[in-house]
Structure 1
């Protein structure tokens, strides 16, 4: 993926893992991401009074003003909320009507004109203090009530010292009973510069998945449990790390090391391998010792919970009596001190769904 493609995705808010991999090695694209974030923050923090209907500008004037805040041939990113776009439009309204006389609609004295919201179907954008946690407009409308409950719960825990933005991108229901349901939701997280939040490290935006239980309280869905791992997973605690595995997965451990092997239905699915890092090598990619007979397909830096990691998609070549077998494997190296904890799984959707790969890897955590 080249810089032009990455910057197109940045302006569209499409920060997928392949974009994160590129950002880890490209300063120019990181600068572009910072410019997009600065535009968003500038618009969001612009205090704009609501106008009277007589001051509405022409459509072409609105489009020209919005165009000043984006690059040509790009659209606004998904995380640029409807409230911020509305703020930009209201800015134009104020500028174009600054020399006009307002209609004789009385003001409340609080900067809001009575009747304008009902007439124009607009609401004044909420401030950051009122709505720290946001919901992606492209989320799941059929679960809107549940998503709003999750937003309210997270908003109580929002820490502006460590967090710059927190957006609920999706909610998926897993189980449903009359008054109880469980599901999972994904978050788009942006930490404050140089800060570590409870969701992860680093200044680059990243995504993380969480699991939630909701119960009906006085007719409304209310969050009762929140977890970083699925509720039916089993947590395995080792000397220097822990990891959670799905039901039906067996774990075998060698007596002389902290290595694990995961198996289910008689098949090996993955494991944890503890290996030393190359001494005195600061580059995390060069410090990692890759397995033998493997070829790198993709690589990148990622964040899982509060752990930074180097992630590889590797293709392993294994000769057999009749042929040569190649199998793709996902290796995630959590670097701590002078060792790397290699959490690896076969990249085979038929045996291990992508949600399981994410849940297992995201559950891994080294002990302090």
Structure 2
């Protein structure tokens, strides 16, 4: 029996009579056995979490298990070495790699998809990767199919991270929108945390928030490589007014409202799908939900505050009568009010998913930016 077979048996915990006889006469194998025994003693007290569908427990769970392990050490018989102990040692070794630590392969997390995450979700985000402050990390909780693309995006953003203003930028999801030959475009969902009291190019505010980014990649020497990023989808067009700008799908038309300066109507194929309306805020009203003036002949279905690029907005789901048919409550619309001084910019869109898909509505609303303070 050679040393290679004996040492393999040691790691497998298969200490037969022949193995023990070899150990008694071989100093090299005795050293290997002592190394495995010490590892066993160090790992055993930890309550190692069960693996997820990705076969690897989440790094933060392993770290928590080690911190909560019993302080006492007990010596086990030399023959008691289990496969679970070896597996735990391997997993602990993996978590020490800075390249693997940010890459989350678990599919067990159930995070909120909207921008108004619960406070506990925010806390988890802030503590998930503490040693990566100021860097771009990956937290793909849905086992994304586009890992090559995501790694390329992470490297691209890492070279452009704003350390002075940005504390941490986490890639949550990447969704491919189109692919033509060696070029593809897609959408990123990013979790942004700015430095205290600072604003970054992704948004403003001290609270963590989500943003959408759009990416173009080309296959260069067989590898998907980022060539450009944008705040708006690449097939959108930017409409600029004297006081604001907004990005719209190329198939939409922005028609100025002759009755009110600065207001727009969005049309697609001759059908109205949304618009921008400017209304003064109610004077002396500190509650933003009550400060905005709702359109005439509208009925409130839901109301609340929502965040876009770190900025709080007032959001209403309204039923509004159709001017053409005069049918009361026949149209459901989402109205998002951006408050600027004493003016509210109301970006409203049809709530009909066939007319305005959810991704389109999010992209249009996220793109709104005022160019001068309201009067």
Structure 2: stretches of 5+ with no match in the other structure: 1-37, 51-56, 79-86, 99-129
**Residue 284 in structure 1 maps to residue 278 in structure 2:** no
Aligned residue in 1 for 2:269: 265
Could you say which structure has the larger radius of gyration? 2
- Aligned partners of 1:329 and 1:142: how far apart in 2? 34
The equivalent residue for 2:94 is: 122
Distance in structure 1 (CA, Å) of the matches to 2:174 and 2:232:
15
Q: Matches of 2:133 and 2:222 in 1, distance apart?
A: 24
Contact 2:209-2:310 within 8 A present in 1 as well: no
Residues 1:87 and 2:90 are matched in the alignment: no
For 1:310, which of 307, 314, 319 is the aligned residue?
314
Q: Give me the whole-angstrom Cα distance separating, in 1, the residues matched to 2:326 and 2:318.
A: 23
Q: Please show how residues 178-197 of structure 1 align to structure 2 within 5 Å.
A: 178-197=181-200
Which runs of 5 or more structure 1 residues have no equivalent in the other structure? 1-50, 67-80, 104-114
The Cα shift of 1:161 comes to 4.7
The correspondence of residues 1-368 of structure 1 with structure 2, limited to 5 A, is: 52-57=39-44, 61-62=47-48, 82-92=58-68, 95-97=71-73, 122-124=94-96, 126=98, 128-129=131-132, 132-255=135-258, 257-305=261-309, 307-317=311-321, 324-368=328-372
> How has the CA–CA distance of structure 1 residues 291 and 162 changed in structure 2, closer, same or farther, with 3 Å as cutoff?
same
Q: Which shows bigger deviation, 312-321 or 205-214?
A: 312-321
The number of residue pairs the alignment matches comes to 288
SS of residue paired to 2:247: strand
* TM-score (normalizing by structure 2): 0.67
CA distance in structure 2 between the partners assigned to 1:290 and 1:248 by the alignment: 28
Separation (CA, whole Å) in 1 of partners of 2:366 and 2:282: 25
Q: Is the contact between residue 317 and residue 324 of structure 1 (CA under 8 Å) also seen in structure 2?
A: yes
Contact 1:313 1:328 in 2 (8 A): yes
Partners of 1:86 and 1:125 within 8 A in 2: no
Q: Secondary structure at the match of 1:141?
A: coil
Structure 1 residues 293-341: Cα deviation after superposition (integer angstroms, max 9, x where no partner): 2222222222323643211111224588795442211001111111111
Q: Deviation string for 1:51-78 (max 9, x for gaps)?
A: 934322357x456xx9xxxxxxxxxxxx
Residues of 1 paired with 2:220 and 2:326: CA distance?
A: 63
In structure 1, how many angstroms separate the alpha carbons of the residues matched to 2:91 and 2:195? 39
C-alpha displacement at 1:93, in angstroms? Answer: 5.0
Matches of 1:141 and 1:236, distance apart in 2: 34
Q: What is the distance in 1 between the residues matched to 2:70 and 2:133?
A: 24
- Tell me: CA distance 1:100–1:187, structure 2 relative to 1, closer, same or farther (3 Å): farther
Give 1:253 deviation, angstroms: 0.6
Query: In structure 1, what is the Cα distance between the partners aligned to 2:326 and 2:266?
Result: 27
Q: CA deviation at 1:236?
A: 0.5
Contact 1:53 1:116 in 2 (8 A): no
In 1, Cα distance between the equivalents of 2:325 and 2:235?
A: 41
Q: Is the 8 A contact 1:201 1:308 kept in 2?
A: no
In the TM superposition, residue 152 of structure 1 has moved relative to its aligned partner by 1.7
Q: Is the 8 A contact 2:134 2:161 kept in 1?
A: no
Determine if contact 2:299/2:329 at 8 Å carries over to the other structure. no
